[in-house]
Chain A
Amino acid sequence: MKNNPFIGLYIIMAVLLVLPFVLPNSFYVDLAIRMAINAVIVLGLNLLIGFAGQISLGHAGFLGIGAYASAVLPTHLGWHPLLAMVAGALAAGLLAAVLARPIFKLKGHYLAMATLGLGIIINIVVRTEAAWTGGPDGMPVPAFSLAGFEISGDKHWYWIAAVLLSVSVWASLNLIDSPFGRALRALHGSEVASKVVGVDVLRYKVAIFVMSAMFASIMGSVTAHYVGFVTPNLADFFHSIELVTMVVIGGMASVYGSVVGAVLLTALPQALTSFEGWETVVFGSILMLCMIFMPKGLVPTLAAKFGKGE
């Protein structure tokens, strides 16, 4: 553990600083923004799945809550976008908190089923409440403005996403190496041992579930404002699976793995467009090969290979 765990963060920040000056056109800037947004969501999800060892197959549902809060509340009720974002995060957090206690009495497959159901319900709600949400067609999202300054265009959103990503990586690194983070990892490693040393296991599971749900909701709001339009696809089952795949491919319980997983899986579909119709097959094959040869995920496998722990 002689390695400074923050070296990766400095590299990420350096890349983020240089990137806007080397990217050839706005297509790549857009891709970079979506990578960064996904990375923040995946960081939160990895704290839950990788570090605390609790699966969530409904996380896109929380993303949807944030996104639709930012779309619906300003449009229909005239709320300020910032207030709508906070309200979305609180709603997602509250829903997670209320459901977490019964949900975390479950383990393994049952927990997966329960969170899966939660995500699907949220998705059905936004699809069905068409008067408010535009139904399957989605709805436009008003621009985000703060103190008379309107945030719009790739340039603004790039720097916002860059700052959010850097802060999230920093906060995640701090968290895992703290009494709270150790308790989380301990209840993953041995639930009974962590109970015996005094960890209130259920409380910790609830806390990290709520936190990652709020993370997802805020990033859902950011996505909605950035894209300017929301559709129920943002909150659907496939998106939940995509987020979990990013965690697994990048590396469970790896902060930098979350970033790498999000970056790769956001870029991969773009890189595969030349396969015309076969891209999903190639995409799936790459995922399978990754899991066969690097079951621990990219970053932990490579870190072990080159002999430096994270």
Chain B
Amino acid sequence: MALLEVKDLSIHFGGVKAVQNVSFSIDAGIVYAVIGPNGAGKTTLFNLITGIYTPTTGTITLDGESIGGKAPDELARRGMARTFQNLQICMNMNAIENVMVGAHLRLDRNLFKAALRWPALRAKDKDLHAEAAELMRFVGLGAYINARADSMPYGALKRLEIARALAMKPRMIFLDEPAAGLNPKETIEVDALVRKVADSGVTVVLVEHDMKMVMNLSDRILVLDYGKKLTEGTGAEVRRNPDVIAAYLGAHA
């Protein structure tokens, strides 16, 4: 059975049908890419699946459980992590604290124990600090472990988001344009990082414009255009599809 199943998913903002009757399913352990021209509804689709938006119609099923319309924090409990196209880093915190907050649900969040410096809570926090530092090295941010988030360059912040998502120990991670705004060298590094994440057993869902990266990484690709599903298949299938070519390059009359 597929890990994630999306059926006839739609959302309307007033008269705008941002996503219309989109259906697909994602098997566990694969890299799944969502591509399409600007405005095709890729990020909206992510926002629907990760609980930021509530679908107008349609169902989303995670591991047999219907999750459509559930709040993001409830989805986090079910092992769903994501990053954002427009960075959502807490600039009021250190880099490593941004990663540590990813482990929120695994920790003792009691207010009184926290205020009283409860030894068990402090000990776990110390372990978490070490774990977060390890994660930062994993995503290639070893140099920024003691940095403030607001002093880091854009490319590093993109990876910091990935590290924070990984701190959740997710089953599924949604990466919204992880290579956007990066130079070619950084793009290759993120490419390798996504591969490493997938190899660690996390199911990766990717929105990305860099076609080389998408073709290189993805097991399956969903193509959206004007909020509708154009086609879905392997890289080779998608590349040959005349509708896809038309959507990207413009159809000949």
Contacts and interface: CB of A to CB of B under 8 A. Distances in A.
B114 A178 contact: yes
A179 B109 contact: yes
B116 interface: yes
Q: How large is the interface on B (under 10, 10 to 19, 20 to 34, 35 or more residues)?
A: 35 or more
Interface in B37-72: 50-52, 71-72
Nearest to A53: B92
Contacts of B82: 196
Nearest to B97: A182
A174 B115 contact: yes
A183 B72 contact: no
Contact of B101 (A170, A183, A192): A183
B104 interface: yes
Interface stretch (B28-36, B73-81, B229-237, B245-253): B73-81
Interface string A98-138: 00000000000000000000000000000000000000000
B107 A179 contact: yes
Interface stretch (B11-19, B83-91, B178-186): B83-91
Contact of A198 (B73, B93, B111): B73
B125 interface: yes
A192 B90 contact: no
Q: How large is the interface on A (under 10, 10 to 19, 20 to 34, 35 or more residues)?
A: 20 to 34
Nearest to A194: B101
Contacts of A192: 52, 72, 84, 88
A188 B90 contact: yes
A189 B52 contact: no
A294 interface: no
A193 interface: yes
Interface stretch (A152-160, A199-207, A237-245): A199-207
Contact of A196 (B50, B107, B109): B50
A172 B148 CA distance: 21
A253 B76 contact: no
B104 A198 contact: yes
Contacts of A193: 84, 88-90, 164
B93 A185 contact: yes
Contact of B76 (A181, A188, A198, A309): A198
Closest 6 CB pairs between A and B?
A189-B90, A198-B76, A178-B114, A193-B88, A179-B107, A198-B105
Interface of A: 1, 170-172, 174-175, 177-183, 185-186, 188-190, 192-201, 207, 211, 253, 309
